[in-house]
Amino acid sequence: MKPRALDYVRARSIDHAIELLSTGADARVLAGGQSMMPAINMRLASPDVLIDIGRIDELRSIEVGSHLRIGAAVTQAEVAGHPDVLHRWPMLTAAIAQIGQPPIRNRGTVCGSLAHNDPQAELPAVAVALEAVVTSQSRRGTRSIPADEFFRGTFTTSLEDDEIVTAVDFPEPALGQGWAFQEFSQQPGDLATAGAAVVLNRREAAANRVVVFGVGVGPTRATLIEEAIRYTTDPSLDPQLVDRWGATLSPFDDAHASAHTKVQHAKQIVVRAVAEARGRMS
């Protein structure tokens, strides 16, 4: 289908975008548009105004220092193709490789995926696993929102209506950290029926993170599993524990898999991802 009649405004700066967003109209922010535009074409979304932030220079940069800062207009392909990202934040590169197909990643943005919070999307889970911090801005000022508090449920975040995401920061992974990103989908590029992002630390086991997605309301920490692996170096997980954890999940049936199948996939994926992350610890 085609979009219904709407207005399109290209924001010149962050301030301009915020001003446009605070007028009270039914406006949505457009960055890469790889989730927004399908929704608009199918008329699942039909805002009165689209505010395009994709060409705001202030949002176009990737900054690499003690942490990685990705501006809201930076595409997934630009992040995955950045040599420092591959070297220091390899989980991001691995996760982006699973998003759609190359033309999708050439337009889709990292921050847009976070703000959209599709429960089957890769990057929200990565943001939680790597303890990213989302920066948002509105007329009322700037906020830094830790990933743990940012994702609130299916397609829902803690962003207010008048706020836009301007950047996301990924801290430097701890030395010797093991990581894994795994997902199961019917074919490459499809949405995941279950996936996991795992971070294991040698020194600070309390900072271990096992985050699953695709089996519920967005990125969810598997706290049962996190606690179980805290005091052990055994790469395999106790199957009874995994079953117990699986019973806590409540995904929906959809065209790709039944809820039961998704839980089975999630259990497999978590077992594999924890083993892989263990193997990468040094």
Partner 1 sequence: MTELTSTTSSRRRILAPPASESTARHEIAVQINGEAIEAEVESRLLLTDFLRERLGLTGTHVGCEQGSCGACTVLLDDVPIRSCLLLAPQIDGRSIRTVEGLAERDGTPNKMQQAFCDHHGLQCGFCTPGLLITLTSLAEREVPVTLDELDHHLDSSICRCTGYMNIRNAARYALGLMPPRVEDRSGERDGP
Residues that bind partner 1 (CB under 8 A): 1-10, 33-34, 37-38, 41-42, 50, 52, 54, 77, 100-104, 106-107, 187-189
Q: Which residue has the tokens 């449920």?
A: 153
**50 versus 128: smaller Cβ distance to partner 1:** 50
**Spatial distance between the Cα atoms of 215 and 128, rounded to a whole number of angstroms:** 15
Whole-number minimum distance, CB 36 to partner 1, in Å?
A: 9
Closest CB to partner 1 among 38 and 153? 38
What is the smallest separation between the CB atom of 7 and partner 1, expressed in angstroms? 5
Q: What is the length of the chain? A: 282
Q: How far is the CB of 116 from partner 1 (least distance, A)?
A: 14
DSSP, collapsed to helix, strand or coil, labels residue 114 as helix
Q: Which is nearer to partner 1, 5 or 255 (CB)?
A: 5
Q: Closest distance between partner 1 and the C-beta of residue 95, in Å?
A: 15
99/222 with CB nearer partner 1 = 99
- Beta bridge partner(s), residue 199: 179, 209
The structure tokens listed for 60 are 């176009």
To the nearest whole angstrom, how small is the minimum distance from the Cβ of residue 103 to partner 1? 5
Least distance in angstroms from the C-beta of 252 to partner 1: 20
Stated as kind and residue range, the H or E segment containing 272 is helix 259-280
Whichever of 71 and 173 has its CB closer to partner 1, that residue is 71
Under 8 Å between Cβ of 208 and 201: yes
- 203 to each of 132, 173, 226, how far by Cα in Å? 20, 12, 15
Contacts of 262 (CB under 8 A, 6+ apart): 193, 194, 214, 215, 249, 251
In which element (H, E) is residue 8 found?
strand 7-10
DSSP string, 52-78: E-TT-GGGS-EEESSEEEEETT-BHHH
Q: 66 or 101: whose CB is closer to partner 1?
A: 101
Q: Which is nearer to partner 1, 22 or 46 (CB)?
A: 46
